[in-house]
Structure 1
Amino acid sequence: MKTKDVIEYFGGVNATARVLDIAHPAVCQWGEYPPYGRQAEIELITQGALKREPKQPALQKRPCHQLHVSKVS
C-alpha cells in the first residue's frame, strides 16, 4: 500500500493519524510507503481493503502535501 492510498481511505492525514493513534507529523514522515509494521496494522484495521507490500519497497521520503491525495467528500 502507498501512503496516498491510506490517506485517501481514511479521509485525510488527520483522520489517518487519529485512527492509528499517532501524531499528524508521523504520517507525514512515512514517505511514499508507510513503515512495514504500520502496513500490517492498517491491513488489519481495514479488514484487508488495503494490503501491505509483500516486500518492503525502497522508501522515498516526501512530505504529505506532495503526495497528491484526492479529497474525500
Structure 2
Amino acid sequence: MLKKTVIKYFGNQLKVAEALELTRGSVSQWGDVIPEKQALRIEKLTKGELKYDPALYTKSA
C-alpha cells in the first residue's frame, strides 16, 4: 500500500496516525510503501476501500 494513497484517503499524516493510534512521527518515517502490518490494519479500518497488495511486500530474488 502506498503512503500517498493512505494520506489522500485520510486527509493528512496526522489523521492517518490518529486512525492507527500511532504518532505522526511514525507515519512520517514510512517510505513510499507503508509497513505491511499497517497496510493490513488500514484495509480492515477502511472496510476494504484501501486494499493490501501482497505483491508490494514480496522480495525479488
Same fold, TM-score > 0.5, yes or no? yes
User: Given the superposition, is the C-alpha separation of residues 50 and 31 from structure 1 closer, same or farther in structure 2, using an over 3 Å criterion?
Assistant: same
* Structure 2 residue 22 is matched with structure 1 residue 22: yes
Aligned length in residues: 58
Give me the TM-score of the superposition, normalised by structure 1: 0.73
Deviation at 1:23, TM superposition (A): 0.3
Unmatched tracts of structure 1, length 5 or more? 59-73
Listed one character per residue, the Cα deviations across residues 8-59 of structure 1 (whole Å, up to 9, x for unaligned) are: 101100110011100001001111011001000000000111111213067x
Which aligned runs of 4 or more in structure 1 are off by greater than 6 angstroms? none
**Percent identity between the two aligned chains:** 36
Gaps of 5+ in 2: none
Q: TM-score, normalised by structure 2?
A: 0.87
